Amino acid sequence: MTRLREHNAWRFFAVLPKADHALAVAWWVVLVLRGVLPAAFAIAMGALVGAVQHGDSLSAPLTFTGAVFILLQTLSPIHQGISANLGDRTAAWLYDRLTEACVRPPGLGHLEDPKLSGDLTLAREFDRGMTGPPLSFAMDFIAGGLVEMIGGLACALVLFGYAWWAPIVLAGAWLATHWLLRESAVWRDRNTDEVRSAQRDADYAYRLAVDAAPAKELRLFGLAGWTLDRFVKRRTLLHALQYEATRLREKPMIWSLLLVAGANIVVFWSLAIAVGAGRLGFGEVVVFAQAAVGTSMIAFGGLSWALDGAAAPVAAVLRLEPAMRPAGALASGTRAVAGLPAREIRFRDVTFAYPGGKAVLDHFDLTIPAGSSLAIVGQNGAGKTTLAKLLCRLYDPQSGGIEIDGIDLRELSLESWRERVTAVF
Ligand SMILES: Nc1ncnc2c1ncn2[C@@H]1O[C@H](COP(=O)(O)OP(=O)(O)OP(=O)(O)O)[C@@H](O)[C@H]1O
Ligand SMILES: [Mg+2]
């Protein structure tokens, strides 16, 4: 159960009712209805053919067939609408989670940690669709795949009416294709460093190309072509990695073919013998032959890809919230700040490094008297902005401390301290 709950697909389906309970319920109800319709249609056709053969009244079987037929025609577009809406609502819910995860922590560490920013790029895939369709489209693919799965299983159930072993042989063979072709079903390498860095780079080049801020440099230095090349290379790499990882492999394909062909031959052979021996009526053979064909809907197909593509970013969003909280956490003090600093701000023996980096400030001391102006000048990367970030308490130093009139910044109420500070980064 734990492993199942940790599965991306499980997390994905668990998010749907949180995003919109009514739509999610409607989505599942229509899904199951659509799933059982092919089996119901096989039975309706069998009843109709049987009634014709025996010269019985046709009104009941014709009504039944008509009702199933109309449902078959109408439920698909209705479901498509529900899927699009549910996909949008789910994307909105995920946006809320993502926004909360980014905005809620008082510090900055969670937004500047390269490990988390990889997940952040992946998380935004749910609507940017660099490696798959956005959720409003993906929901319809997923629905279609699940309808086929339920449809195939329902048809297999009907086959129990023929022989206990027939659905086991047939559904077993079709189900086995999921196992045999499992390598092609999910993109397992999605979380490797190579994929994350290609994704981050593509994202970076994309923003360079479309945002106003870098537009000046792009023009001045003639970097438009360079930016585009970079974007195209990274995107192409992503697609190449994805398709390489999920392409169909020859051997499992051959095994799948043999298994499925064998199971179908056995079941249809047996049906033919039963009809030849007069053990099955016309109506019955119509039902069972259709059910046997319908069982093929279980086969490995688009569901796995659509679900994998939609579930991975959802799982990333859900991972980010608990991962970002501690990374951006800062304990607030309680001391009042009004009137400070009256005397001085003092960096006392401050050592600070960004996570995983070397020390930017190393036993650093600086006293800034209240009411004074101070310019800090230094090379790129010397640590000037870092000083300002520490002063705004966006990070805490690893050792030493920043004192405001002799009071450590960490003892002050964070919110009221920030009311006293202003900065233009
Ligand atoms: N979020 C971060 N994660 C890891 N390292 C960082 C981060 N921000 C800055 N650094 C590194 O810390 C060092 C100090 O950076 P900082 O931005 O404080 O320099 P700066 O003096 O403001 O530089 P500039 O003159 O370019 O504005 C640099 O080596 C920089 O690469
Ligand atoms: Mg700077």
Ordered structural domains, the chain, with CATH: 2-181+248-327 (1.20.1560.10), 344-420 (3.40.50.300)
Short-list 400, 346, 352, CA closest to 109:
352
**Interatomic CA distance for residues 138 and 132, integer angstroms:** 8
Q: Mean pLDDT, to the nearest integer, of 368-380? A: 95
Q: Which residues have any ligand 1 atom within 6 Å of their CB?
A: 112, 354, 357, 360, 378, 380-386
Q: How confident is the model at residue 15 (pLDDT cuts 50, 70, 90)?
A: very high
Minimum-distance ligand to the CA of 395? 1
**Interatomic CA distance for residues 361 and 356, integer angstroms:** 14
β-pairing verdict for 407-408 and 399-404: antiparallel
The pLDDT score that the predictor gives to residue 302 is 66
Q: How confident is the model at residue 129 (pLDDT cuts 50, 70, 90)?
A: low
- 116, 354, 377, 394: residue to mutate for ligand 1 pocket, most atoms within 8 A of CB: 354
**Interatomic CA distance for residues 97 and 358, integer angstroms:** 32
pTM for this predicted structure? 0.82
Distance from Cα 224 to the centre of ligand 2, integer Å: 26
**Interatomic CA distance for residues 15 and 147, integer angstroms:** 20
The pLDDT score that the predictor gives to residue 125 is 74
pLDDT digits (tens, 9 = 90+) for 195-254: 878 888 888 898 899 999 899 999 999 999 999 999 999 999 988 888 888 788 888 899
The pLDDT score that the predictor gives to residue 256 is 93
Short-list 288, 291, 17, 277, CA closest to 162:
288
What is the chain's mean pLDDT, rounded? 91
Distance from Cα 386 to the centre of ligand 2, integer Å: 7
Residue with tokens 């389906």, as numbered in its chain: 13
pLDDT at residue 97 greater than cutoff 80: yes
% of residues, the chain, pLDDT over 70:
97
- 358, 361, 384: residue to mutate for ligand 1 pocket, most atoms within 8 A of CB: 384
Nearest CA to ligand 1 atom 13: 381
Distance from Cα 397 to the centre of ligand 1, integer Å: 15
**Interatomic CA distance for residues 24 and 17, integer angstroms:** 5
**Residue with more model confidence, 300 or 132:** 300
Q: Give the chain's count of helices (H) and strands (E).
A: 17, 4
pLDDT at residue 131 greater than cutoff 70: no
Ligand 1 atom, smallest distance to 356 CA: 4
Nearest CA to ligand 1 atom 7: 354
SS (H, E, C) 18-37: HHCHHHHHHHHHHHHHHHHH
Residue with tokens 């048809």, as numbered in its chain: 155
Ligand 1 atom, smallest distance to 379 CA: 25
Nearest CA to ligand 1 atom 5: 354
**Interatomic CA distance for residues 312 and 116, integer angstroms:** 15
